[in-house]
Structure formats: structure tokens, C-alpha cells
Amino acid sequence: MLDITQIQKVLPHRYPFLLVDRITHIKQGEFVEGFKNISISEPAFMGHFPDHPIYPGVMILEGMAQAGGILAFKSSDIPEEELKNKVIYFMSIDKAKFRKPVVPGDRLDYKIKIVKLRQNLIILDGKAYVNDTLVAQAELKAMIVDK
């Protein structure tokens, strides 16, 4: 389990773009589970949409990517001291589907599994849920590179 302080030691993202509040389960080389609490105070809701707030799909994908980034860093063979000089870049997001709107008050649960892991390349199967209902999914490809 990683709290927000531990997450910030792994990811370079900060407010308003840090989209993972907690990692609840992680198994190196296999999967990660975490969540983001969706609040009406999210900056995206100022324009998406003022009278009908819906959490943007691209933000859901980014949250999945960030959770996947944590999994990639924790699953790599790169020594922890060296990881401080690395960053993860997403190369592609494929097969993205949005199945149900996410609204203020929802807890967005991320479940990310490794499909393939080769040195600094990772392919992930990402899913996002609200109350055990699948709301979004995508295949994510990324590389760990020097900053």
C-alpha cells in the first residue's frame, strides 16, 4: 500500500495533475490497484461541464497511466537510486472505451495488469471502476527513459 506521500516519491506529477490518491495493492511484475476520489473541487469541473459535471475520460486514462507508471517503476530492474533520474513516457493508448460517466462523489478504482514487461518497455491492461462497475478501459504502452 502507498499513501499520497509515497506516491509522490515515485511519480513526478503534482496538483492539479496527480490523479492517484492511494495504491491499495501492488504485486511487482503483475498488477497494481489504487483509487482517486472524485470531488466537485476538481479543476476539470469548471469547464466540463459547469451545469452537468462529468469527469473527463482523458483524466480517467491519465489516472490509469499514472497507476501503471507506479507499477512500471516498482517492477523494473533499475536500482532505486537510478530511478530518481528516470521518467515514464506513454507511447500509446489503444482500445480505449468509456462505458459510464464518472461524477463528483465517485471513487474511481484503477486495476492495472502487466501484459508484457521487457527491460524499459511495458504494456498494460488498464481498467477503471466505480462501485465494481467498469467505467473505462484501455491498453497502455510506455517506456522508462532518462529525464
Burial of 132 (0-12, 13-18, 19+ CB in 10 A): exposed
Set 13, 25, 48, 52: catalytic member: 48
Taking CA atoms, 8 is separated from 68, 84, 105, in Å, by 14, 12, 24
Identify whether 48 is a catalytic site residue: yes
Helix (H) or strand (E) holding 61: helix 57-75
Helix (H), strand (E), coil (C) string for 63-129 = HHHHHHHHHHHHHCCCCHHHHCCEEEEEEEEEEEEECCCCCCCCEEEEEEEEEEEECCEEEEEEEEE
Q: Which residues are tagged catalytic?
A: 48
